[in-house]
Chain A
Amino acid sequence: MAAPESGDGNNGAARMVTLISSDNTRFEVEAAAASLSQTLQLTILDGGGGGGDGIPLPNVDSATLSKVLEYCIKHAPAAANGGAPNATAVDRAELERFDNEFVNIDQSVLYSLIMAAHNLEIEGLQSLVAKKVADMIKGKSPMEIRRTLGFPDPTPEEQAEMNAHMLEYGWAYE
């Protein structure tokens, strides 16, 4: 997991920061990985998160944070190379494979992830999850989308409303 520290050239050993999830779990992670988050990057540049302090993340629980960091660690080396213009095709294919597998998870986890990516401003993660969710609902009827994303069953009122709107297009479903 060692990220090459060539870009900055300011230190040999990778700098570590501590992040604290909403349920008080502490995660120690390389600053380069955590800095994929625009929000954290500012704090880290200010020297935050080092020593025993830790950066509290009251909106992210430990399960989600762990998943977020898995993404950041994997993507940090490429991000350090400025979007990796000289990355090999193999590297890119490997990242793509990782991404595909990474979002192959339950919708409720996707929800937590996209919220966390949004709060922490991790652009790449946010669009990765958004794309996955879009793929999951593409070409589906409203009812199928509700099922896919774990919406509760519609109340009769909601159902009637949906049907009325769909009839506008000459198409009723189910």
Chain B
Amino acid sequence: MASQSSPRNHRRRPRLPPTPTDEVETRDWAELPRDLLLVVLQRLDIASIVFGAGHVCRTWRRVTREEPELWRRIDIRSLPKPAPHGVNGSQLRALAHTALWRSAGRCEAFWTKGITEDDYIAFFRRHTAPMLKSLRLISCEMSTVSLSIDIKRFPLLEELELSLHSSESFDNTYMVCAAAAKACPHLKILRLIKDAGYHWNSRVLNKDKEAMEIAKMRQLRSLQLSGNSLSNDGLAAILGGCVHLEFLDIHPCFNISMRSDSMYVRCARIRTFRHS
């Protein structure tokens, strides 16, 4: 790396930096040591790696393909707007597959938006992610049946977010909760968001089905239920079961009535409590 130039200026102290004009040799970014290249690549979103940096030259291609470290956190909630790569649905899928494949089973966080049940099955039955700690499926069109079957494959899970669009899937989410309560002893954060205003319907037969399962998640610290059918009984069960709960957001859940003081008293130990 040493550049050979004559020691012209003998400075005693560095003052203003000399502009390195005449002695700059052409530096070769393709020759950047692997660990330094990783330091740079780790600061990129995965679309920029998969569609950009990963194809710059042979060295970069090799590093982006062989280094699972780069793929530990797969965040494809939002993709760079048009960019050179106007990413569409199929490219988003390609992106998720590529990232999961390259993570070589070491993915710890998978965050995505707008996927379907088929996508989910394709991602997580074709690839394994036994180290997964955080799974966030946002605005998804899923029945969640496969997730309730699969969740035992993520025994280290600490954070689960399901935000769902379609009301057909709303009835099934209790199965996910039941499976997670059993298979994910480290679960600390649960967000269950039902976008449509369907489930708080008072005609729902068993309003607290889901709450009863959530109450079994002993390590839960943070819980957000939105558009959930739970009633005061369900809330009481959760407060009794999840003894470590610090954050609770049940807005909006219209079967909850906070008119009685006793409910407020029971919720007093929760550090942050939001309700309708």
Contact with B along A111-139 (1 / 0, CB 8 A): 11011001100000011001101100111
Q: Contacts A59-B1, A169-B51, A170-B90 hold; do A66 and B11 have CB atoms under 8 A apart?
A: yes
A64 at the B interface (CB under 8 A): yes
Return A60 CB to nearest CB of chain B, in Å: 8
Number of residue pairs spanning A and B whose beta carbons lie under 8 angstroms apart: 162
Find out whether the CB atom of A171 lies under 8 angstroms from the CB atom of B85: yes
A84 at the B interface (CB under 8 A): no
Contact with A along B66-98 (1 / 0, CB 8 A): 000000000000001001110000110010000
B260 at the A interface (CB under 8 A): no
Which chain B residue has the least Cβ–Cβ distance from A166? B55
A63 at the B interface (CB under 8 A): yes
Find out whether the CB atom of B48 lies under 8 angstroms from the CB atom of A29: no
Return B41 CB to nearest CB of chain A, in Å: 8
Contact with A along B130-147 (1 / 0, CB 8 A): 000000000000000000
When chains A and B are docked, how far (Å) is the Cα of A73 from the Cα of B14?
A: 10
Residues of B within 8 A of A173 (CB): 84
Return B211 CB to nearest CB of chain A, in Å: 43
Residues of A within 8 A of B80 (CB): 138-139
A28 at the B interface (CB under 8 A): yes
Return A135 CB to nearest CB of chain B, in Å: 8
Find out whether the CB atom of A22 lies under 8 angstroms from the CB atom of B39: no
B56 at the A interface (CB under 8 A): yes
Find out whether the CB atom of B2 lies under 8 angstroms from the CB atom of A140: no
Q: Contacts A115-B36, A134-B44 hold; do A145 and B5 have CB atoms under 8 A apart?
A: no
Which chain B residue has the least Cβ–Cβ distance from A63? B20
Find out whether the CB atom of A61 lies under 8 angstroms from the CB atom of B52: no
Which chain A residue has the least Cβ–Cβ distance from B24? A108
A62 at the B interface (CB under 8 A): yes
Find out whether the CB atom of B17 lies under 8 angstroms from the CB atom of A162: no
Find out whether the CB atom of B10 lies under 8 angstroms from the CB atom of A170: no
Find out whether the CB atom of B39 lies under 8 angstroms from the CB atom of A146: no
Find out whether the CB atom of A170 lies under 8 angstroms from the CB atom of B94: yes
Q: Contacts A109-B24, A137-B44 hold; do A150 and B12 have CB atoms under 8 A apart?
A: no
Contact with A along B1-16 (1 / 0, CB 8 A): 1111111011111100
Residues of B within 8 A of A150 (CB): 26-27, 29
Find out whether the CB atom of A139 lies under 8 angstroms from the CB atom of B30: no
A12 at the B interface (CB under 8 A): no
B40 at the A interface (CB under 8 A): yes
Return A139 CB to nearest CB of chain B, in Å: 4
Find out whether the CB atom of B36 lies under 8 angstroms from the CB atom of A140: no
Which chain A residue has the least Cβ–Cβ distance from B80? A139
Q: Contacts A23-B5, A24-B7 hold; do A140 and B90 have CB atoms under 8 A apart?
A: no
A83 at the B interface (CB under 8 A): no
Find out whether the CB atom of B12 lies under 8 angstroms from the CB atom of A28: yes
Contact with B along A1-35 (1 / 0, CB 8 A): 00000000000000000000011111111000000
B50 at the A interface (CB under 8 A): yes
When chains A and B are docked, how far (Å) is the Cα of A26 from the Cα of B18?
A: 14
CB<8 Å pairs between A and B, sample of 26:
A22-B2, A25-B9, A27-B13, A27-B14, A28-B12, A61-B3, A62-B9, A62-B18, A67-B17, A70-B14, A70-B17, A73-B14, A107-B29, A118-B35, A130-B39, A134-B41, A138-B44, A138-B80, A139-B52, A139-B83, A140-B84, A142-B56, A145-B53, A146-B56, A165-B55, A171-B85
